[in-house]
Amino acid sequence: MFNRMLIGLAIASVCSSASPDAQSRRPLQPDDIFQLKSVGDPRISPDGAWVAYTVTTLDKKEDNSDTDIYMVSASGGAPVRLTSSKKPENAPRWSPDGRYLAFLSARDGKKAQVFLLDRRGGDAQVLTEYKTGASAIAWSPDSSKLALLVSEPDPNDPDTTDEKDKKPKPHVITRLQFMRDGDGYLNDVKRHIHLFDIASKKDIQLTTDKFDDGAPAWSPDGSLIAFSANRTDNPDANDNSDIYVIEPREGARPRALTTSTNSDGSPVFSPDGKWIAYLNGGDSKDIWYGTNNVALVPVAGGASKILTTGLDRNLSRPQFAPDGSGVLFLLEDGGNTHLAKVPVAGGAVSRILAGERDLAAFDVAKTGDIAVLDTQVQQPAEIFYLKGAARPTSVGAELARPPQLTHVNDEFLAKVSLGTVERFKAKSADGTMIDAYLTRPPFDAAQGRPFDAAQGRPSAPAGKLPTILRIHGGPVAQYSTGFNLEWQMLAAQGFAVVAANPRGSSGYGREFSRAIWADWGNKDYDDVMAAVDTAIAMGVADPDRLGVGGWSYGGILTDHVISKTTRFKAAISGASEFNYLANYGTDHYQRQWEAELGLPWQHTELWIKLSPFYRLDKIVTPTLVVGGDADMNVPILGGQQLYQGLRRLGRETQLVIYPGETHSIRRPSFQQDRFERYVAWYSKYLKPQAKTSSQ
């Protein structure tokens, strides 16, 4: 029931529209995905003069994506393109002496190898020739060696074996975790740390045990390599990874530095080499609902020290400040991701770069300068540069926006009109306050509304708008103040878009996230419905023209929504699970399912109670069901069950399956097709006067 108290809730503007000349710009179209570019992985050169980064584009003709490496002066100016092959090049890493830029590419074959680009000139030269490829480049401090991750040969992969017989072989599986989306079926092939000498090209395999190793990092004096690994008896049954160190020599054995039962990872050495900072996971019993911490452990051995006790947020990408006084990291917090720092001696966390922004990556120079990958609601990710921001004197400065180094999407953005995005609060049924976002249509997409300079956005529409509730995946994830192409694409077609961070979301602490433990589709259902009711109370959403949809857990919660209410006139269920009993053993979450719900033959009633499958006859909303046929994360099985039941009941529905696609739809033509189907389906049922088809 609509709550009149929602009308008075405050609404905060996240970003204003562009200038009045934006009225001459056109709205977004699905094929604009081929003009938008993705910027990533900023890396500052040792002399602090340059920032290397990647740019990913979608190729319409070839129907694939390509990633190239660029660099730009830290003082600004025109970028320099460093690679241009038709195969992706990524993971740029400067050698400590500044002579080389290493990167990964499969430009000469099917497996990624390390290439070296000499800054003195010349083309990039391939350095490694591993049959299984290489990953995770880490330079030794003297620039003479690389620590790499290299997988053992897979007997089922004809490209990594010496056999002349290339016929497919059966998958023989003995592991508890027997498949993973993107990797396929899993056997006992492991990934180990290798030491590669640049001059001699000699390779030494450092770790040889029956465990997967990850995240190699060198000590400042080159005497040790730190890494993370789960070396328990049955790694598939837990998340108990620890931090290890090993000497970079043949025959060395790893030494464990941490012994907690949580997930320890992302190790980095302090500048003096005495400490390792790392990410310490929350209580393993919380699975993904818990939050993590930045911790320190002495390299010589001893007890770990948690630096961020009480922060109760998810943290990532720890790096030491150049003087070793603190650890910098990304802090996910209430729809934003900030750059923060905590002193190694303990104390309060400082926000170096805060505000309404979503930071995806950063790198720290020896000078204390920081390159950040920053996105905001009307700005796809670009690289910005903070001078001396990691120095102690400047910590805590919350810059409105630091100088921008890259302008990859400026030319495209000048052609299109984007919708405004506002953050607002909604009160759920039990009084819990929820963060949400409202994206309004741009200038001419709905009713040709003029720009209101006083409000900094298009003037209010003459009537209420068809409105779509979009639900994020996870469930432990968050919608943020970063650029969201899906919101903008739908708003460009005249829809208002409501997106909430219901309970279960990250960014609001452990208790908020864990509130839906073994109780999916209840509290989070109330929360997203409260966001819709608030948009109606604001006079924006038309209660008679509501749509809903999402991908992954967004699709799962969509299934709950349409099986509990008939308020929505159109739904899109993407990559959803529908009958949880049937999903047991068919997705790659067996351990998480068991931790949260118990074994299905022992707790059958709970598994059935939570599954929207058993309310299928309550669904009357026209529903488009979408997924990839190679998805091992959320298999198409769930979508097929939903579609089959709806068809059997005579409901309006359609099933779209993308061949060869995993959980992430990667083929560009399929990405465009999915947007086109979204627009067509919602338009058909929310704009009955529009002559569109569901294709």
Taken in order 577, 578, 580, 582, is the CA torsion positive or negative? negative
- pLDDT of 12 reads 45
**Alpha carbon distance 409, 353 (integer Å):** 22
Strand partners for 467? 496, 546
* Class of residue 689 by CB neighbours under 10 A (exposed 0-12, middle 13-18, buried 19+): exposed
φ, ψ (nearest 5 deg) of residue 102: -90, 150
Residue 529 has pLDDT above 50, yes or no: yes
What was the pLDDT predicted at 453? 43
**C-alpha span between 341 and 657 (Å, rounded):** 45
Query: Residue 190 is which amino acid?
Result: K
Tell me the pLDDT band of 164, cut-offs 50, 70 and 90. low
Place of tokens 């837990």: 238
pLDDT at 162: 60
Helix (H, G, I), strand (E, B) or coil at 287: helix
Per-residue confidence (pLDDT) for residue 55, from 0 to 100 = 98
Contacts of 689 (CB under 8 A, 6+ apart): none
CA distances to 5, 440, 479, 509 from 433, in Å: 12, 22, 15, 14
- Give residue-wise pLDDT tens across range 610-648: 999 999 999 999 999 999 999 999 999 999 999 999 999
Q: What is the pLDDT of residues 489-525, one digit of tens each?
A: 999 999 999 999 999 999 999 999 999 999 999 999 9
pLDDT of residue 161: 60
Candidates 296, 237, 289, 231; CA nearest to 267 is 296
Q: What is the pLDDT of residue 188?
A: 83
**Per-residue pLDDT tens for 445-463?**
444 454 444 444 555 555 7
Tell me what pLDDT residue 388 has. Answer: 82
Q: List Cα–Cα distances, 271 to 167, 323, 504, 594, 654, in angstroms.
A: 51, 7, 38, 42, 58
> Cα 673 to chain center, whole Å?
22
17-21, 205-209, 545-549: range with lowest mean pLDDT:
17-21
pLDDT over threshold 60, residue 4: no
- Burial status of residue 654 (CB atoms within 10 A of its CB: 0-12, 13-18, 19 or more): middle
pLDDT score, position 155? 77
Give 26's strand partners.
416
Three-state SS for 325? coil
Please tell me the predicted confidence (pLDDT) of residue 200. 95
The DSSP code sequence of 326-389 is EEEEEEEETTEEEEEEEETT----EEEE-SS-EEEEEEE-TTS-EEEEEEETTEEEEEEEETTT
The pTM (predicted TM-score) of the whole model is 0.91
Residue 389 pLDDT: 73
HEC assignment per residue over 571-600 = EEEECCCCCHHHHCCCCCCHHHHHHHHCCC
Structure confidence by residue, pLDDT tens digits, 429-438: 999 999 999 9
Q: What is the pLDDT of residues 577-618, one digit of tens each?
A: 999 999 899 999 999 999 999 999 999 999 999 999 999 999
State percent of the chain over pLDDT 70: 90
pLDDT at 15 exceeding the cut of 60: no
CATH superfamily of 4-29+413-686: Alpha/Beta hydrolase fold, catalytic domain (3.40.50.1820)
Closest CA to 568 of 649, 663, 471, 480: 471
**Percent share of the chain, pLDDT over 90:** 79
8 Å CB contact between 100 and 114:
no
The residue-averaged pLDDT of 54-76 equals 95
> What value does the mean pLDDT of the chain take?
90
Q: Which CATH superfamily is domain 307-408 in?
A: TolB, C-terminal domain (2.120.10.30)
Query: Residue 186 has what pLDDT?
Result: 84
Rounded to 10 degrees, the C-alpha dihedral 363/366/370/371 comes to -50
What pLDDT, on a 0 to 100 scale, did the predictor assign at position 568? Answer: 98
Domain spans of the chain? 4-29+413-686, 307-408
pLDDT at 692: 45
Q: Supply 146's token pair.
A: 């690389």
CA distance 638 to 616: 12
Whether residue 475 has a cis bond before it, omega within 30° of 0:
yes
d(CA 95, CA 99): 6
Is the confidence at residue 210, as pLDDT, over 90?
no
Interval 104-142: pLDDT, tens: 999 988 899 999 999 888 889 999 999 999 999 999 999
Residue with the two structure tokens 């934006």: 22
Asked if 550 contacts 472 with a C-beta cutoff of 8 angstroms, the reply is yes
- Cα–Cα distance list, 475 to 102, 359, 478 (Å): 37, 20, 8
Does position 5 have pLDDT exceeding 60, yes or no?
A: no
Q: What angle do CA 318, 136, 68 make, to 5 degrees?
A: 100
